[in-house]
Structure 1
Amino acid sequence: MTSLMWLIPAALFLGALGLAAFFWTMRSGQYDDMQGVAERILIDDDKPITDEDEDANEADSDRV
């Protein structure tokens, strides 16, 4: 019985803490653009490889 006196308030406190963290993330805009974040990985930001870059990579591999 005494263990329930500790476990129930601890569970309520942890639940309230999780709920507060969820509301904090909602207010800070963590879930605003879920689709854009998922598609950002598909965007190629790198410049295309040129012949000069390939020559430099071959020279590096010759040293090894």
Structure 2
Amino acid sequence: MEALYLLVPLSVMLVGLALWVFFGAAESGQFEDLEGPGLRILVDDDRVGADGAAEHR
């Protein structure tokens, strides 16, 4: 029973920290473009230079 006096406030603080991190990320625009990075991997952006070596942007 005495462990609850420690674990309940600790779990409430942990949930509060998780919510603070989530809303901070949402406010800073972290979740604005969810499809762009997934589609960017499909674009072939390798260029072949004059010497035949692949150049990356």
Same fold (TM over 0.5): yes
Q: Which has the higher strand share?
A: 2
Q: Which has the higher helix share?
A: 1
Query: Deviation above 3 Å: which 4+ runs of structure 1?
Result: none
Q: Which blocks of at least 5 consecutive residues in structure 1 are unaligned?
A: 55-64
Q: Which has the larger radius of gyration?
A: 1
Q: Which blocks of at least 5 consecutive residues in structure 2 are unaligned?
A: none
Equivalent pairs, count: 53
Aligned residue type for 1:53: G
**Higher relative contact order structure (alpha carbons within 8 Å, sequence separation ≥ 6):** 2
Q: How does 1:4-19 map to 2 (within 5 A)?
A: 4-19=4-19
For the aligned residue pairs, the C-alpha RMSD in angstroms reads 1.6
Matched, 1:38 2:48: no
